[in-house]
Amino acid sequence: MKELILILDFGGQYTHLIARRMRELKVYSEIEDPAISTERLKEYGQKYNLRGLILSGGPSSVYSGNAVEYNKEVFNLTIPILGICYGHQLIAYVFGGKVSHAGKEEYGIGRLKVRRPVGIFQDVEPEETIWISHADIVEELPKDFEVLGETRNCPIAAFRHTAMPIYGVQFHPEVEHTRPGMKILGNFAYLICGCSPSLETGDFVEQAVREIREQARGSKAIVALSGGIDSSTAAVLASRALGKSLTAVFVDHGFMREGEGVTVKRTFEGLGLNVIAVNAEKVFLEKLKGVRDPEQKRKVVGEGFIRVLEDAAKSVGAEYLIQGTIYPDRIESGETKHSSVIKTHHNVGGIPSAVAFKGIIEPLKDLYKDEVRYVARELGLPESIVKRHVFPGPGAVVRIMGEITPEKQAIWRRVDRIVQEELEKEIFYYDLWMAFPVLLETRSTGVRGDARAFGYTVAIRAVESKDTMTANFSQLPYHFLERLSTRITNEVPEVTRVVYDITNKPPATMEWE
Ligand code: XMP
């Protein structure tokens, strides 16, 4: 029987990274609601060789009124358990320990001192870099538990039961910044749960093509194509599945990179797709008039997109919409039951519920960005698309702060062109997840010639990331930043000041809105 590790999702931002790490360890896992019925738990036991349980992190406190409900039976399964962050606190709480609000909260990189290199800590160095994010801590261990590791502000950063295979870690082994993260998760899966690496990844392309065909059931479909890696990959996959029954629709909402429409149309027609380009700039500018709230702006774009796509679908007689939504888009839009909404990705939560499509097909919905790049290469997409920086669906709408006006839109475009031109000359372009200007609402005083100037402030954001969920600001060379600032202030006189954003994610997100 297939081995399974069940992950209970208490609403953490990183729950799906746990599943992803299991996939990398070649161990099959599924994510479930902690309030899973006993009946369903039994079904898992019948269908799989249920080897272990991971309790994820989450935003609540175990003792608060809003604590996530869970089925208490999960603690009677007599299989290994690993609690992460909230899961770690929950284990302590359930077994009679004490959890309290930490005097000092910890967010970001920390140092772990391994007190006992056993169990999940086997072969882990005595001192290690870890990624930790918490407000509560386990203050007292339950009876029969022992401490395995500590951090500066968290004396019980890891523990285990002395007789049963139950472990807890306050930090996040699934996050890339935890250096021994894969070792710890591997120890849990292989040593503690006894799993063997055997997951058959299968042929994603073949399976996705089959599924798209099944879902579209012989009808025509359109695919929303922005020219970014996700929608491009979805478009080529869908074209393999549906051939000429597919039309790719490029919606130019007026907030894309310059010249995007022409390049996208040429590239994808060259790949044999039917492509329609719709210029909807005026419509979007009108709809965005007076809208200031970032979430509202995203929703306006989402809604506007769908309406344009519906019209395009009607014109070609298509009934299905195919989109390049990927896993992190869904997580951050708060799709899982207990996680909080960070922002509404326009292609997920921004979509109005009443859409005139028979169905929406999202072939990449379980993939992370680097997995999409892998699939894109397998499909033979050009490297210029595979390696291209990510660009968000709403484009400059979330990079121009506050209300959008034609004046701000034009300034942003000119600044962005300079930033992209300069970046493309640099080899470090490929180390960056993306880099872009943000037009702020803050005006500041400058001097031009001998006169006072009072103009816009532009922030440059450049980040490095592997999986979207965390990111570091890039330590770009000063001479490069200086070149940007000189060109921007010389060539775009409306801008009097350029600043560089030095915030990591978290606490900031990559985009400013
Ligand atoms: P944040 O700002 O959430 O960005 O840290 C993570 C990644 O997601 C992109 N992003 C979006 N992509 N629709 C998209 O297609 C959206 O609404 C959206 N919002 C953010 C962002 O550019 C970054 O790569």
pLDDT tens-digit readout, 43-77: 999 999 999 999 999 988 888 777 889 999 999 99
pLDDT, tens digit, 9 for 90 and up, residues 15-52: 989 998 998 898 989 899 999 999 999 999 999 999 99
User: What pLDDT shows up at residue 343?
Assistant: 63
* 10-19, 280-289, 314-323: least confident range: 10-19
Any ligand 1 atom below 6 A from CB of 389: no
Any ligand 1 atom below 6 A from CB of 253: no
Residue 343 CA: which ligand 1 atom is closest?
Answer: 3
Cα 390 to ligand 1 centre (Å): 8
Find residue 129's DSSP bridge partners: 111
The whole-angstrom separation of Cα 447 and Cα 449 is 6
Residue 301 CA: which ligand 1 atom is closest?
Answer: 17
User: What pLDDT shows up at residue 104?
Assistant: 73
Any ligand 1 atom below 6 A from CB of 510: yes
Joined tokens for residue 298: 């995203």
The whole-angstrom separation of Cα 356 and Cα 321 is 10
Q: 337 pLDDT exceeds 60?
A: no
The whole-angstrom separation of Cα 189 and Cα 487 is 53
User: What pLDDT shows up at residue 203?
Assistant: 78
Any ligand 1 atom below 6 A from CB of 392: yes
Cα 194 to ligand 1 centre (Å): 38
Protein residue closest via CA to atom 17 of ligand 1: 345
More confidently predicted of 367 and 5: 5
User: What pLDDT shows up at residue 456?
Assistant: 98
Protein residue closest via CA to atom 4 of ligand 1: 510
Cα 97 to ligand 1 centre (Å): 40
pLDDT class for 483, splitting at 50, 70, 90?
Answer: very high
Any ligand 1 atom below 6 A from CB of 467: no
User: What pLDDT shows up at residue 37?
Assistant: 94
User: What pLDDT shows up at residue 473?
Assistant: 98
Active site annotation includes 174: yes
User: What pLDDT shows up at residue 256?
Assistant: 92
Active site annotation includes 85: yes
Any ligand 1 atom below 6 A from CB of 468: yes
User: What pLDDT shows up at residue 328?
Assistant: 78
3-state secondary structure of 389: coil
User: What pLDDT shows up at residue 504?
Assistant: 95
For ligand 1, mutation pick of 229, 306, 432, 510 (most atoms within 8 Å of CB):
510
Determine the average pLDDT of the residues in 206-222. 95
- Residue reference for tokens 């990959």: 233
Any ligand 1 atom below 6 A from CB of 345: yes
Distance in angstroms between the alpha carbons of the first and the last residue of the chain: 47
Any ligand 1 atom below 6 A from CB of 511: yes
> Which domains can be identified in the chain, with CATH numbers?
3-192 (3.40.50.880), 204-386 (3.40.50.620), 405-500 (3.30.300.10)
User: Peptide bond preceding 394: is omega within 30 degrees of 0, i.e. cis?
Assistant: no
Find residue 453's DSSP bridge partners: 446
Any ligand 1 atom below 6 A from CB of 399: no
Any ligand 1 atom below 6 A from CB of 513: no
Find residue 360's DSSP bridge partners: 321
Cα 332 to ligand 1 centre (Å): 9
Determine the average pLDDT of the residues in 342-356. 60
The active-site residue out of 174, 260, 362, 513 is 174
CB–CB of 475/378 below 8 Å?
no
What is the phi-psi region of residue 467: left when phi exceeds 0, alpha when psi lies from -120 to 50, beta otherwise?
Answer: alpha
pLDDT, tens digit, 9 for 90 and up, residues 219-276: 999 999 999 999 999 999 999 999 999 999 999 999 998 888 899 999 999 999 999 9
* 181-185, 331-335, 378-382: least confident range: 331-335
Q: 338 pLDDT exceeds 70?
A: no
Q: 181 pLDDT exceeds 80?
A: yes
Cα 11 to ligand 1 centre (Å): 20
- Please compute, for residue 437, the number of CA atoms within 13 A of its CA located in the half-sphere on the CB side: 35
Q: 201 pLDDT exceeds 70?
A: no
Cα 324 to ligand 1 centre (Å): 13
More confidently predicted of 329 and 400: 400
Active site annotation includes 253: no
pLDDT class for 339, splitting at 50, 70, 90?
Answer: low
Against a cut of 0.75, is the pTM above it? no
Residue 511 CA: which ligand 1 atom is closest?
Answer: 2
Residue 468 CA: which ligand 1 atom is closest?
Answer: 6
User: What pLDDT shows up at residue 128?
Assistant: 96
Any ligand 1 atom below 6 A from CB of 508: no
Cα 467 to ligand 1 centre (Å): 12
Protein residue closest via CA to atom 24 of ligand 1: 390
Eight-state DSSP code of residue 399: T
Sequence-distant (≥ 6) Cβ neighbours of residue 480 within 8 angstroms: 422, 426
Protein residue closest via CA to atom 20 of ligand 1: 392
Nearest partner of 95 among 146, 47, 46, 131, judged by Cα: 146
Residue 324 CA: which ligand 1 atom is closest?
Answer: 15
User: What pLDDT shows up at residue 466?
Assistant: 82
Cα 235 to ligand 1 centre (Å): 19
3-state secondary structure of 397: helix
Any ligand 1 atom below 6 A from CB of 234: no
Q: 185 pLDDT exceeds 80?
A: yes
pLDDT, tens digit, 9 for 90 and up, residues 142-156: 999 999 999 988 999
Q: 348 pLDDT exceeds 70?
A: no
Any ligand 1 atom below 6 A from CB of 29: no
Determine the average pLDDT of the residues in 159-187. 96
The active-site residue out of 3, 85, 253, 345 is 85
Share above pLDDT 70 across residues of the chain, in percent, rounded to a whole number? 95
Residue 509 CA: which ligand 1 atom is closest?
Answer: 5
CB–CB of 398/511 below 8 Å?
yes
For ligand 1, mutation pick of 343, 397, 433 (most atoms within 8 Å of CB):
343
